[in-house]
Chains A and B, each alone.
Chain A
Amino acid sequence: METILEIKNLKTHFFTKAGLIKAVDDISFKIKKGEIVGLVGESGSGKSITGFSIIGLIDAPGRIVSGSINFKNEPLLNASSNRMQSLRGNRLAMIFQDPMMTLNPVLRIDTQMIETIKAHDKNISNQEAFRRCRDTLGLVGISSPEERMKAYPHQFSGGMRQRVCIAIAMLNKPDLIIADEPTTALDVTIQGQVIYEMQELCKKTGTALLWITHDLAVVAGIASKICVMYAGRIVEQGSVDDIINKPMHPYTIGLIKSVPSQNKRGEPLHQIEGMVPSMLELPIGCAFHDRCTETIENCKIEKPIETNQSDSRVIRCFNFKDIRK
């Protein structure tokens, strides 16, 4: 399978008045064609910034300091803003967390959708663009799309709006969609519907998907690969089976053990001690060492480097081998 996106040693730092924040610090991963990759982490772990870095939405005081992002063998970091604009919404698309904020409240759905098509294809006729929008809306499970296209965003419910956002992302059949917590603002039953639609769409169109979430359970069912982030770094990545059933990094192990369904009812949950460190004052050495159960001396001094366990399995820890035994 060909690789759609390859990120190597990406560093995105924010030069704020309070100090340097290494929001994304040396991360590398790949996405293959048609693959669903889950990027999991707590708030402030840098998972959204990774998404924004790919699509080129990092604003001052943030800057991509070093590393490379290759999209279909084309380096994105050196691309001109014109080139980025022609990629965004066309080959690369993004779905944001809050469907209430992403749609323009004063424009009808059809205007917003047709705009997306016409921005990238000047020669398309209005009728043809309209037809494509209608079909895509039908595809994401909106009934009677022809009438609903005349509606304004406030006439839709949250779940429906998120579907419209998904439809807009899908319009130009992109090669990669970055979905930043697309179901967090939705109810359980609606979340099920949206996950289902996304799963179907990726299967039908061969679009790759980077699913950013804080909820391991959401990606466990749909992704084929998972990257776990902590304090700006990917601490472990591998296939879904490996990460969920055979986690090796102490943080991943702690996260999975603390999911309520993994514990006996009424018993105390397994908990990770301490709290997420402030990105301004990260501990020296491994950022997780003061919450970790397997800390050795080296963790407090040196930052662990990435080690490959197999083709797909990468882990950043000094002391993980003992854990596996």
Chain B
Amino acid sequence: MTDILKVLQVSKNFVKPIDIASKVVNMFGNFYNQEVVHAVDNVSFNVTSGEVVGVVGESGCGKSTLGRMIAGILPLTSGKLDFHDQHYSGFDEGNYKHNSHIDLKIQMIFQDPFSSLNPRQKIIDIISEAPIHHKLISKKDKKYFVKDILNKVGLGTDAMDRFPHQFSGGQRQRIGIARALAVSPEFIVCDESIAALDVSIQAQVINLFLKLRQDLNLTYLFISHDIGVIQHIADRVVVMYLGQIVETASSDEIFSHPNHPYTKALLQGVPTLDTKKKIYTPIKGEIPSPINPPSGCYFHPRCKFSTNKCITDKPSYKEVSPNHFSACHLNS
């Protein structure tokens, strides 16, 4: 198995520039700083071909930002992305260059099937726009082409001449998938792609993902806050907290032997179909603001095992068992 994607020390900062009033005050000796949000902070991992990597974490942990950078729609602040050992994303917005060959091989499916489709375009145009633009198909072939793709995602050919508002949420998500597949990608980033769907429709779309993976030999980066879904489809799981990876391991390993206290708490908090009156033992506190993250280990204010070392030192990210990495002082 070869590594299809390498993420090397990728970071993304969002900077809120200081406004003019603060600038004026600064001239008179005050000191207002720019506010910097470290949305993704020094993240590295590899994805092997044919694998499903799940990214879990709470809102604001940077999982969507990471997905967008990998899909090539957000420039990186620092770090490097390699696709098939080919470097593909620039360092800052000024140097950002599109490499359309690689950009087409990585596609993204979005969370909201209602706002991610152009309401004025017919389905046939939504799906065929990108392949025609990139000269993968000619204009006269587009009908056959779209028909074929619609069949793949389980929609009838009569869908072609309709508009997005004529479809239900689950069907729209299928159209979103069809649009991503139209440029024959190898790698798909799914950002909360099933979160907006009804319970009985979710299973249908998950099954479609699994089927397409087999049929087309796709690799997925599956971003979700729903741990049950990740457990079902991911081969490997990346757990993020405040922009950093706290733990990575194979799916079996992480759900049977979670190492990091945050992962443990996250897994415990998931409601299950267990009718025994479960006593929830929640982790205390809120997710800290990424503008002023806590010192040392970011999780220490909420962690029940935290020691003095956790407050001062940042834990190193190391292998605790084969292919199982975790960033916690308890391991040393």
Residue numbers of A with Cβ under 8 A of B are 42-43, 157, 159-160, 187-193, 195-196, 199, 214-218, 220-222, 240-241, 244-245, 254-256, 258-263, 265-266, 268-273, 275-276
Q: List chain B residues, Cβ under 8 A from A188.
A: 58, 225, 227, 266, 269-270
Given contacts A187-B225, A271-B204, contact A192 B273 (CB under 8 A): no
Interface contact A261-B228, CB-CB below 8 Å: yes
Q: Please tell me if the beta carbons of A215 and B199 are within 8 angstroms of each other in the complex.
A: yes
A256 to B199, CA, bound (A): 10
Interface centre among A189, A191, A260, A270, by most chain B C-beta atoms within 10 angstroms, is A189
Instruction: Report if A195-B280 is in contact (Cβ < 8 Å); known contacts: A188-B58, A259-B228.
Output: yes
Given contact pairs A199-B280, A259-B228, A263-B232, a sample of 15 additional A-B residue pairs in the complex whose CB atoms are under 8 Å apart: A187-B287, A193-B280, A214-B199, A217-B273, A220-B273, A221-B274, A265-B231, A265-B251, A268-B207, A269-B207, A270-B203, A275-B170, A275-B171, A276-B198, A276-B200
Q: List, in ascending order, chain B residues with CB within 8 A of A270's CB.
A: 203
Report the minimum CB–CB distance from B286 to chain A (whole Å). Answer: 5
Chain A residues whose C-beta falls within 8 Å of the C-beta of B321 in the assembled complex: none
Q: State the Cβ distance, A281 to closest chain B Cβ, in Å.
A: 13
Q: When chains A and B are docked, how far (Å) is the Cα of A245 from the Cα of B273?
A: 9
Indicate if B278 sits at the interface (CB-CB under 8 A).
yes
- The contact sample of 10 A-B pairs, CB cut-off 8 A, is A188-B269, A220-B273, A222-B277, A258-B200, A260-B231, A265-B251, A269-B203, A269-B206, A275-B171, A275-B201
State how many angstroms separate the Cβ of A160 from the closest Cβ of chain B. 7
Residues of A within 8 A of B281 (CB): 196
| B271 A215 Cβ-Cβ under 8 A | yes
Query: In the complex, A128→B96 CA distance in Å?
Result: 63
B203–A271 contact, CB under 8 A?
yes
Question: Do A220 and B274 touch (CB < 8 A)?
Answer: yes
Contact between chains at B272 and A189 (CB < 8 Å): no
B277 to chain A: which residues have CB within 8 Å? 221-222
Residues in A whose Cβ lies below 8 Å from that of B201 = 275-276
In the complex, what residues of B have CB within 8 A of residue A195's CB?
A: 271, 280
Would you call A220 and B200 a contact (CB within 8 A)? no
| Cβ-defined partner of B271 (8 Å) among A218, A254, A276 | A218
Interfacial chain B residues near A255, Cβ < 8 Å? 199-200
A244 to chain B, nearest CB (A): 5
Check: B118 CB closer than 8 A to any chain A CB: no
Q: A190-B286, A191-B269, A263-B232 are in contact. Are A244 and B203 (CB under 8 A)?
A: no
Residues of B within 8 A of A216 (CB): 199, 273
Distance in angstroms between the alpha carbons of A273 and B277 in the assembled complex: 32
Closest to B269 in A: A192
For the complex, give the distance between the alpha carbons of A292 and B200 in Å.
12
The CA of A266 and the CA of B233, in the complex, are separated in Å by: 5
Indicate if the CB atoms of A189 and B278 lie closer than 8 Å: no
Chain A residues with CB under 8 Å of B228's CB are 217, 259-261
**Separation in Å of the A196 CB from the closest CB of chain B?**
4
Known: A221-B272, A275-B168. A193 touches B282 (CB 8 A): yes
B-chain residues with CB within 8 Å of residue A193 when the two chains form the complex = 280, 282-284
- B273 in complex: contacting residue of A42, A157, A190, A259, CB < 8 Å: A259
Question: Smallest Cβ distance from A249 to chain B, in angstroms?
Answer: 13
Neighbour of A245 across the interface among B265, B272, B275, CB < 8 A:
B275
**Count class of interface residues, chain B:** 35 or more
Contacts of B202 in A (CB 8 A): 258
Give CA–CA (A244, B276) in the complex, Å.
11
In whole angstroms, what is the CA distance A275 to B167 when docked? 11
Query: What residues of A have a CB within 8 angstroms of the CB of B203 in the complex?
Result: 258, 269-272
Complex contact A268–B210 (CB within 8 A): yes
- Identify the interface centre among B168, B252, B265, B270: most chain A CB within 10 Å of its CB: B270
Residue of B nearest to A196 (CB): B280
Distance of A276 Cα from B170 Cα, bound (Å):
10
> In the complex, which residues of chain B have a beta carbon less than 8 angstroms from the beta carbon of A160?
286
A284 → chain B closest CB, angstroms:
20
- B268 within 8 A of partner (CB): yes
Are B59 and A187 in contact, CB atoms less than 8 angstroms apart?
yes
Which listed residue (A217, A258, A265, A266) contacts B272, Cβ 8 A? A217
In the assembled complex, the CB of A204 is this many whole angstroms from the nearest CB of chain B, namely 15
Q: Which residue on chain B has the smallest CB distance to residue A159?
A: B286
- A residues near B210, Cβ cutoff 8 Å: 266, 268
- Chain B residues near A265 (CB-CB < 8 A): 231-233, 251-252
B255-298 contact mask (Cβ, 8 Å, vs A): 1 or 0: 00000000001101111111111111111101100000000000
> In the assembly, what is the distance between CA of A110 and CA of B287, in Å?
24
| Mask of B25-46 contacts with A, CB within 8 angstroms, 1/0 | 0000000000000000000000
Tell me whether A261 and B273 are in contact in the complex, defined as CB-CB below 8 angstroms, given that A187-B59, A275-B201 are known contacts: yes
The chain A residue sitting closest to B252, CB to CB, is A265
Q: How far is the CA of A263 from the CA of B232 in the complex (A)?
A: 8
In the complex, the answer to whether A220 meets B199 with C-beta atoms within 8 Å is no
B98 within 8 A of A: no
The 10 tightest CB contacts between A and B, nearest first, are: A192-B269, A260-B232, A258-B203, A193-B282, A196-B280, A221-B278, A187-B58, A217-B271, A271-B203, A269-B203
Question: Is residue B139 contacting chain A, with contact meaning CB distance below 8 A?
Answer: no
Across the interface, which residues of A come within 8 angstroms of B278, CB to CB? 221-222
B229 within 8 A of A: yes
A residues less than 8 Å from B227 (CB atoms)? 188
Q: A266-B232, A275-B168 are in contact. Are A260 and B206 (CB under 8 A)?
A: yes
Alpha-carbon gap, A261 to B267, bound state (A):
13
